[in-house]
């Protein structure tokens, strides 16, 4: 049974101490298994595509007309120069399957009453993080904050969701910001400009062959 079928248009703002840049993209998804990301701007990256199928990721590079599968050793590499990694693309499905969840309590965050939940990897899971703590709003079940810890319990990065908007009848954060604590001055922000639900796509859309055809 597949989840929500969505189309979104997103702007990603990457900020580093020495430079910044903006990347715009179209995203098609069937949660949590499939997603296809098509870069529309900047011009030098236009046409680049990232495909996620379950726990596997591929990149289509139009300049060399080549599809590259991301090996496990590269899952922690930066995606498009941002503070998000290739692993973040597959983490949504991994969260459900690979982690045990414990309700730590309830807290007020961002003006919303939230459930505070601890996620710890299952013994057999081959995952990146030693622990994740997430804040989910009671109203609308919005993901408003996530803290990512390594295996030694050190906080590595924090993701913040803000500026909730009504998208096609769903209240969701329109901004998501990733802040790496080991890289001062770095941050990446996603702004969701458009989000449509129940779009007409099937799992067959998310094929390696379709990466070079999608627009």
Q: What are phi and psi of 128, to 5 degrees?
A: -80, -45
- Supply the pLDDT for residue 98: 86
- Supply the pLDDT for residue 92: 64
Supply 22's token pair. Answer: 């903006």
Distance from C-alpha of 39 to C-alpha of 18, rounded to nearest angstrom: 23
Distance from C-alpha of 23 to C-alpha of 46, rounded to nearest angstrom: 9
- Supply the pLDDT for residue 32: 81
Q: DSSP character for 206?
A: S
- Supply the pLDDT for residue 2: 47
Distance from C-alpha of 39 to C-alpha of 26, rounded to nearest angstrom: 7
CB count, 10 Å around CB of 214?
17
Question: 49: closest CA among 30, 75, 70, 67?
Answer: 67
What domains can you pick out in the chain, each with its CATH number? Answer: 5-212 (2.50.20.10)
H, E, C per residue of 25-75: EEEEEECCCEEEEEEEECHHHCCCEEEEECCEEEEEECCCCEEEECCHHHC
Neighbouring-strand partners of residue 89: none
Q: What is the pLDDT along the chain (215 residues), one digit of tens a residue?
A: 345 899 999 999 999 999 999 999 999 999 888 999 999 999 999 999 999 998 889 999 999 999 999 998 888 889 998 999 888 877 665 777 789 999 999 999 999 999 999 999 998 877 889 999 999 999 999 999 999 999 999 999 999 999 999 998 889 999 999 999 999 999 999 999 999 998 999 999 999 999 999 98
Residue showing tokens 């919303």: 112
């Amino acid at each position: 049974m597949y989840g929500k079928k969505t189309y979104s248009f997103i702007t990603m703002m990457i900020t580093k101490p020495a430079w910044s840049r903006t990347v715009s993209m179209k995203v098609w998804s069937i949660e949590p298994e499939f997603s296809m990301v098509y870069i529309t701007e900047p011009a030098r990256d236009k046409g680049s595509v990232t495909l996620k199928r379950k726990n596997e990721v591929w990149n289509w590079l139009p300049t060399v007309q080549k599809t590259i599968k991301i090996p496990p050793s590269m899952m922690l590499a930066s995606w498009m120069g941002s503070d998000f990694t290739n692993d973040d693309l597959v983490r949504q499905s991994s969260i459900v399957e690979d982690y045990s969840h414990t309700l730590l309590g309830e807290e007020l965050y961002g003006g919303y009453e939230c459930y505070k939940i601890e996620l710890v990897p299952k013994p057999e899971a081959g995952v990146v993080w030693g622990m994740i703590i997430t804040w989910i709003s009671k109203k609308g079940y919005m993901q408003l904050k996530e803290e990512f810890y390594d295996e030694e319990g050190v906080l590595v990065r924090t993701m913040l969701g803000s500026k909730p908007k009504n998208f096609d009848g769903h209240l969701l954060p329109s901004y998501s910001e990733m802040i790496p604590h080991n890289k001062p001055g770095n941050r990446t922000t996603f702004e969701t400009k458009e989000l449509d639900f129940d779009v007409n796509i099937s799992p067959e859309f998310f094929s390696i062959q379709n990466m070079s055809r999608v627009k």
